[in-house]
Amino acid sequence: MDLSVLDRLKWLQQQQMVSPEFLQILGSDGREELKRVESYLGNNNDELQSFRHFPEFGPDYDTTDGCISRTSSFQMEPVKNSGHNRAISLQNKRKPEGKTEKREKKKIKAEDETESSMKGKTNMSNTETSSEIQKPDYIHVRARRGEATDRHSLAERARREKISKKMKCLQDIVPGCNKVTGKAGMLDEIINYVQSLQQQVEFLSMKLSVINPELECHIDDLSAKQFQAYFTAEADSKQSIMADFRSFPLHQQGSIDYSVMNGTVIISLCSNKSFIIPKFLLLVREVTYFFFLFCRKIRHHQAGKLTHNVFTTA
């Protein structure tokens, strides 16, 4: 049986909704062929109720069980009407692909995939076509060569595409992912990055716990405005002072050292390399920029130990 032929037909009908003209293209014998297909399918399965509602295929079924020959129905005559050229070209495109092997591939694959759940061959083929027909209600995806077209694999494919989209987003976030290709390598990178971040947090908190008793924190109630003044909504990449910064979590190459000595604030910015900072780091720079400016402000106002100021959100 030539289900791919039928698939094509149905698909094109869905696309165009100009079935009467379409049938004209087929020619008179084509119509009979189509009817035969309809009857063949219509007898076998209740799932194909949708088939009965096609306007041109009325309820007059012949109970013939002939198979459509492969080539007869779709010998397309050259059509003058340009509107149908697309349909024709689509059909013709599939022809030179090696009809035999394509259809067999599809058929075999469909059988393999649905064999477990289906009872007979005919049922298998019917559900395959029915899932094709129901496609217009959902996202219309054209089956690629050699891929099965049943619903499960379509859903699976959609899911896989979603996941790969998200992986691409993650690629932007995690530095160093661009060089690695493939899901596994990227996942490795991401895992390593998250672990290194967590270890850093752990290390810093340990350090904090050591120096905590000596910590002198004064929570001054500076006005919220003053704090916000040092933040820019959009980061200006031309800030020359920031040009050499590297963010902390990456490989510990650049660092911003704020060291407070008696009465003076020495702020040393050391960076080993200058990089083109990706966009998300621009926001990071704002934070550090704030601390920098604040330290400077403290130096003017207060000679002595550095006092902590915390944002107080209103």
Partner 1 sequence: MERQIINKKKRVFSLEPNKNPSAVFTRKYTSHLVPALKKLNMNKNSSKQTVKHEVDMALALSAQEFPWSRFLLQKLSSSSNPTTTTSSSSDGIRILERPDKEGGNEEGGIEERLRELKKLLPGGEEMNVEEMLSEIGNYIKCLELQTIALKSIVQDST
Q: Which of residues 123-182 bind partner 1 (CB under 8 A)?
A: 159, 162-163, 166-167, 169-170, 173-174, 182
Looking at the Cβ atoms of 67 and 197, the one nearer to partner 1 is 197
Distance in angstroms (rounded) separating the CA atoms of residues 290 and 76: 73
- Scanning residues 277 to 296, which ones bind partner 1 (CB under 8 A)? 280, 283-284, 286-289, 291-293, 295-296
Q: Under DSSP, is residue 139 helix (H, G, I), strand (E, B) or coil?
A: coil
Cβ of residue 193: shortest distance to partner 1, in angstroms? 7
Looking at the Cβ atoms of 76 and 295, the one nearer to partner 1 is 295
Q: Which two tokens stand for residue 38?
A: 């309809």
Cβ of residue 314: shortest distance to partner 1, in angstroms? 10
Cβ of residue 11: shortest distance to partner 1, in angstroms? 29
Distance in angstroms (rounded) separating the CA atoms of residues 92 and 96: 7
- Scanning residues 204 to 223, which ones bind partner 1 (CB under 8 A)? 204-209, 211-217, 219
Q: Is 251 in the site for partner 1 (CB under 8 A)?
A: no
**Amino acid identity at 277:** I
Of 136, 123, 133, 128, the residue nearest 152 (C-alpha): 128
Spell out the residues 6+ positions from residue 79 whose beta carbon is closer than 8 angstroms to its own: 25, 85, 88
Q: Is 201 in the site for partner 1 (CB under 8 A)?
A: yes
Cβ atoms of residues 52 and 59 within 8 Å: yes
Cβ of residue 304: shortest distance to partner 1, in angstroms? 14
Distance in angstroms (rounded) separating the CA atoms of residues 177 and 191: 11
Q: List 264's β-bridge partners, or say none.
A: 261
Looking at the Cβ atoms of 10 and 246, the one nearer to partner 1 is 246
Distance in angstroms (rounded) separating the CA atoms of residues 123 and 131: 12
Looking at the Cβ atoms of 137 and 216, the one nearer to partner 1 is 216
Select the residue interacting with partner 1 from 108, 191, 266, 303 (CB under 8 A): 191
Q: List 270's β-bridge partners, or say none.
A: 255
Say how many residues touch partner 1, by CB under 8 A.
Answer: 78
Cβ of residue 165: shortest distance to partner 1, in angstroms? 9
Cβ of residue 34: shortest distance to partner 1, in angstroms? 42
Q: Is 303 in the site for partner 1 (CB under 8 A)?
A: no
Q: Is 258 in the site for partner 1 (CB under 8 A)?
A: yes
Cβ of residue 202: shortest distance to partner 1, in angstroms? 6
Looking at the Cβ atoms of 70 and 159, the one nearer to partner 1 is 159
- Scanning residues 12 to 51, which ones bind partner 1 (CB under 8 A)? none
Count Cβ atoms below 10 Å from residue 251 Cβ, excluding itself.
Answer: 12
Distance in angstroms (rounded) separating the CA atoms of residues 40 and 23: 19
Cβ atoms of residues 5 and 128 within 8 Å: no
Q: Is 54 in the site for partner 1 (CB under 8 A)?
A: no
Q: Is the dihedral of CA 305, 307, 308, 311 positive or negative?
A: negative
Spell out a b/e string for 57-74, using b for 16 or more CB atoms within 10 Å of the CB, else e: beeebeeeeeebeeeebb
Spell out a b/e string for 198-227, using b for 16 or more CB atoms within 10 Å of the CB, else e: eeeeeeeeeeeeeeeeeeeeeeeeeeeeeb
Select the residue interacting with partner 1 from 15, 85, 92, 199 (CB under 8 A): 199
Cβ of residue 229: shortest distance to partner 1, in angstroms? 5
Looking at the Cβ atoms of 169 and 276, the one nearer to partner 1 is 169
Q: Is 247 in the site for partner 1 (CB under 8 A)?
A: yes
